Chains A and B, each alone.
Chain A
Amino acid sequence: MPVIPVMIIAAFVLLALAAGRLSPADPYAQSLRARLAPPVWAADGSWAHPLGTDRLGRDLLSRIIFGARVSLTAGVVTVLLAGLVGAAVGLLAGYYRGRIGSLLMRLTDATLALPVILLALVLAVTAGPSFVNVVIAIGAILWARYARVVYGEVLALMERDFIAQARLTGCSDRRIILVHLLPNTLPSLLVLLSLQIGYVIIVEASLSFLGAGIPPPTPAWGSMIAEGRDYVASAWWVSFFPGLAILLVVLAFNLVGDWLRDELDPKLHHL
């Protein structure tokens, strides 16, 4: 088990849960006069703002701590939503096949062919950027991957004896799907979920760069980097620390996902 990545994730989850207690200052409190203050170890840094302040003079450390809550929630909620829809579509299409199945899979393939960022951008521009809309926009495209994977698994499972037996003994469709098929697709789903949490966080950051991410003043890591990008040369800390947070978390999730895949489902190597 990859100990370090798991510890990193645990640490950030803890930060997110206890953000209110751990954060040294109000992440929303502005002070224009204290804007772009450097971190404590710099020549004119101070303990008032251990990691410095952003362009509106808000405490960076506090924003990163609260940002853990926002970004992790966005990542987890989006993949869960996408996983739920995707699994449902995959199960139904694989179990019923026929016209419904092929229609659902056409829809899945169509969605897979859409450029993620482009469509998320269109959706965000249409509905206006907000936390919920960003989650929906990314989720609206990610579900197709789950559907594809689950569909493939279900097709293989349907050939197996125990499904035929379940059918013979008169199990209802619902029971077969929920009790026999779903649990057997869980390992692949889990692998995909863990790998995609990081991806969602990165996509959200890209949307922020394009002006369609989680909107200000909410502290999301992606939008913090996007806002700080003009200061890479003059006040590096504004984008560096949220960038570091994203790097650690996404890297950790990817490594854990990698490990899970090797353990649970080595066939999924091309995900």
Chain B
Amino acid sequence: MLRFVLARLSQSAITLLLFSVVIFGLARATGDPLTLVLPMVATEEDFANARRYLGLDRPLYAQYVTFVGRAATGDFGTSIRSRRPVVELLRERLPNSLALAAFSMAVSLLIAFPLGVLAAVRRGTALDSGAKVLATLGQSLPTFWVGIVLIEVVAGRLQWLPAGGSGSLAHYILPGFTLGWFVVAGLMRLLRSAMLEVLDAEYVTTARAKGASEVSVVWRHALRNALIPVVTFAGVYFAILVTSAIVVETVFAWPGMGRLAYEAITGRDFPVIQAVVLVTAAIVVTVNFAVDLLYAVIDPRIGLAS
């Protein structure tokens, strides 16, 4: 067990180091951030002056060494656009992202559960196909369009819910639904096939033979066991939600990591691009690691070696 954990940890560290090179290079390939920081009338001397002050005139390898050296100690440098320590920006945004992802996850589970169970129990019927189509709908529309239609109708016309920004619980509803609906299909499918597998399993057949009611079979025996893969994969979906929220955060003016990343990329804010990509990648790596570990603990049939 310990060997497995250590091996995975060192692999993760190498993965992240690999990233740091890729993202360092990519970020710099996007162009010159000063074009956006300095005004239209700035002279070339102004550009040279700012480049020198920000250390952007140093050779690339030197910049990279500084970046990695500092990142290892949790210091991601200073944002070129806002000139604040990147760590501060992350501290402001990360909790918002996690909160929105958690809310979306809850929404998504709330929809996926009844649909998944229904589809499995009524397998092959119109209800099954109906549930599948309903779940897949969320995955078949661009989130920005769903979000904007919701904003125009629910916030703009009906005025029931706030359109954007964060603050109260009500602010979570529209972005949470938009984001959550997108992953319903995956969760529902997972639950449905896990249920199907369990419903065919021996102990369920035994329970049926012993005269247990269908409701009890479904809820007590099947669902409980079908939950295992759902719970483990909920982690993966959570990571997906955190990292794919960029569009939803932009539409709903949600001050999270996705929006920070978008601003950083369009603003050529190298230190922030690097930090956001590394941190989101670290989240995914950590979640995957935790899921593997959890899976191994829950289901001993899966060897740790794989």
Contact: A122 with B26, CB < 8 Å? yes
A222: B residues at CB distance < 8 A: 142
B68 to chain A, nearest CB (A): 16
The one of B26, B139, B156, B285 in contact with A126, judged by C-beta atoms closer than 8 angstroms, is B26
**CB proximity to B under 8 Å, residues A228-270:** 229, 232-233, 239, 243, 246-247, 250-251, 254-255, 258, 266, 269-270
1/0 per position for B255-291, CB-CB distance to A under 8 A?
0001001100110000001001100110011001000
B276: A residues at CB distance < 8 A: 118
Q: Is the interface of B mostly helix, strand, loop or mixed?
A: helix
A221 to chain B, nearest CB (A): 9
**CB proximity to B under 8 Å, residues A192-213:** 198-199, 202, 205-206, 209-211
The answer to whether B67 has its CB under 8 Å from any CB of chain A is: no
List A residues at the B interface (Cβ < 8 Å). Answer: 106-107, 109-110, 112-119, 121-123, 125-126, 155, 198-199, 202, 205-206, 209-211, 222, 225-226, 229, 232-233, 239, 243, 246-247, 250-251, 254-255, 258, 266, 269-270
Q: Which has the most chain B C-beta neighbours within 10 Å: A113, A123, A126, A239?
A: A113
Given that A118-B280, A206-B144, A254-B139 are contacting pairs, would A125 and B288 also be in contact in the complex, using a CB cutoff of 8 Å? no
Contact: A202 with B244, CB < 8 Å? no
The one of A114, A199, A205 in contact with B281, judged by C-beta atoms closer than 8 angstroms, is A114
1/0 per position for B227-258, CB-CB distance to A under 8 A?
00100010000000001101100100000001
The answer to whether B193 has its CB under 8 Å from any CB of chain A is: yes
A233: B residues at CB distance < 8 A: 152, 156
The one of B140, B143, B243 in contact with A118, judged by C-beta atoms closer than 8 angstroms, is B243
Given that A115-B277, A117-B244 are contacting pairs, would A109 and B15 also be in contact in the complex, using a CB cutoff of 8 Å? yes
The answer to whether B101 has its CB under 8 Å from any CB of chain A is: no
Contact: A269 with B142, CB < 8 Å? no
A122 to B269, CA, bound (A): 12
Q: Is the interface of A mostly helix, strand, loop or mixed?
A: helix
Chain B: CB-nearest residue to A202: B142
B31 to chain A, nearest CB (A): 8
The one of B140, B265, B285 in contact with A254, judged by C-beta atoms closer than 8 angstroms, is B140
A211: B residues at CB distance < 8 A: 266
Given that A110-B15, A123-B26, A125-B30 are contacting pairs, would A251 and B193 also be in contact in the complex, using a CB cutoff of 8 Å? no
A114: B residues at CB distance < 8 A: 19, 277, 281, 284
A239 to B152, CA, bound (A): 13
- 24 pairs from A and B in contact (CB 8 Å cutoff): A106-B18, A110-B15, A110-B18, A114-B284, A115-B243, A115-B280, A117-B246, A121-B265, A122-B27, A122-B277, A123-B26, A126-B26, A126-B30, A155-B306, A209-B144, A209-B247, A210-B247, A211-B266, A225-B142, A243-B142, A247-B140, A250-B140, A251-B140, A270-B229
A202: B residues at CB distance < 8 A: 139-142
The answer to whether B34 has its CB under 8 Å from any CB of chain A is: no
List B residues at the A interface (Cβ < 8 Å). Answer: 11, 14-15, 18-19, 23, 26-27, 29-31, 132-133, 136-137, 139-145, 148-149, 152, 156, 185-186, 189-190, 193-194, 229, 233, 243-244, 246-247, 250, 258, 261-262, 265-266, 273, 276-277, 280-281, 284-285, 288, 306
B35 to chain A, nearest CB (A): 13
A210 to B193, CA, bound (A): 35
A112 to B18, CA, bound (A): 13
Contact: B139 with A119, CB < 8 Å? no
A189 to B47, CA, bound (A): 51
The one of A113, A123, A198, A243 in contact with B285, judged by C-beta atoms closer than 8 angstroms, is A113
Given that A118-B277, A251-B136, A258-B132 are contacting pairs, would A206 and B143 also be in contact in the complex, using a CB cutoff of 8 Å? yes
Chain A: CB-nearest residue to B192: A269
Chain B: CB-nearest residue to A117: B246
B23: A residues at CB distance < 8 A: 122
B142: A residues at CB distance < 8 A: 202, 205-206, 209, 222, 225, 243, 246
B27: A residues at CB distance < 8 A: 122
Contact: B15 with A115, CB < 8 Å? no
A124 to chain B, nearest CB (A): 9
Q: List 9 additional A-B contacts (Cβ < 8 Å) besides A110-B15, A122-B23, A198-B139.
A: A106-B11, A112-B284, A114-B277, A117-B247, A125-B31, A205-B145, A210-B246, A269-B193, A269-B194
Contact: B15 with A113, CB < 8 Å? yes
A117 to B250, CA, bound (A): 13
Chain B: CB-nearest residue to A248: B140
B15: A residues at CB distance < 8 A: 106, 109-110, 113
